Amino acid sequence: MKKHLKYTFLICTIALFIGGCSSDDGSVFDTPIPDNTGGEDGGDETEEPEVATIVFNEAVPSSNITTASASGEAGTTVTGRVIFTSDDTTQRRMYITQNYLGQGEMPFSSFDLVSDDLTKALKADGSIDLDGATKKEIDFSFPLPVPDIDNGEIVYTFWTTTGKGDFRDVTKRLALGAGQITVTVGTGTNPAAAVREFTDIKLFAPAQDGTTESFFSLLNETVYRINVGPEFRAFWDFGYYYGASGDSAGDNASFASTEQYDASFGFAVDGLEPGADEENSETETLNQMFFASSTTIDAAAFDAITLNGELNFIASSDAQKITNLSVGDVVEFVDNYGKKGLIKITAIEPGFNNNDFIEFDVKIQP
């Protein structure tokens, strides 16, 4: 499937080296937080480099350092460090996002782990699996890459969870955090935020067993089969179906939020709702999304939109599905996380067969 991003976010090409997990033999605070001072007499001792460090200590929250910053030069790296010490809470995963030049927070999971305590590396959703660490005391140091830019900020956000979390919702099963390390280049001034743009997205009429590419994620512009598994449940935003309950005179070409999809489609898609044996099944949630036919934006106006602020006019509806879509329609939406956007329908192959489809473009706030 052909897909394009108008702006590149440097999230898949940057290697992040993580090391120095603490062991059960001592506290992470046995290692002092580095400062920028040299020897007492200012002699020949080499001055330690400044380390941007965030600290969360559940037992002593007054010692927390929730934000840190560093200046960087294009094409180099700056050192970052995160220290998360829990008391009663068990930390099972760490989530990291990167916001590049104010273009929106994206999962940051292109890791090259070197810690002996993290042999399992990453979970399927891109979070760091902490089962190989102590789960109570975590101390990571790593170089943060500085891209080849003249001015701007790159913001990294870190938090830990007690189970499967959500890259777009730091409160979901939060253990400790969230903290931020900001890397500033030049003046630190970001360019005007552009919309994120996806083109030629194709969703197919669903199979009840979840084997068709019928669902879309606004997080990473990826089309999903539901049978890829529950690790990606927080990624799914909305799905496509044709007709309602097999009635060709019903809804025809339609979108529905993940939360309302089974009720709208008329059949339960295997794997969409959490099973009783899944992790955190009792507290699992599905993404909502609210749709409305645009009364002010046509296809030509859609094509002309380039900046984030041009989507501020959109107001959320109460409808979590939209039906009887046609080629050329423009749909307004507000997603589960408050981001506003537009969908332009570009092609429809009508029908219930699993090779029937809808094709569309998307513009959404970063």
What is the rounded average pLDDT of the residues 290-312? 97
Q: Is the pLDDT of residue 156 over 90?
A: yes
For the ranges 209-213, 273-277, 281-285, the one whose mean pLDDT is highest: 209-213
Burial 61-71 (b: 16+ CB within 10 A, else e): eeebeeebebe
Find all residues with CB under 8 Å of 28, minimum gap 6, and list them: 22, 83, 85, 137, 138, 139
Asked if pLDDT for residue 38 goes beyond 60, the answer is no
Q: Is 324 left (phi over 0), alpha (psi -120 to 50) or beta?
A: left
Structure confidence by residue, pLDDT tens digits, 167-222: 999 999 999 999 999 999 999 999 999 999 999 999 999 999 999 999 999 999 99
- What whole-number percentage of the chain has pLDDT above 70? 81
User: Tokens 């219930």 — which residue?
Assistant: 352
What pLDDT score was predicted for residue 49? 64
Count of residues making up the chain: 366
pLDDT tens sequence across 40-61: 444 445 556 679 999 999 999 9
Q: Which of 9-13, 169-173, 332-336, 349-353 has the lowest mean pLDDT?
A: 9-13
Q: For the purposes of burial, counting CB atoms within 10 Å of the CB of 163, is it exposed (0-12), middle (13-18) or buried (19 or more)?
A: middle
Global pTM value: 0.83
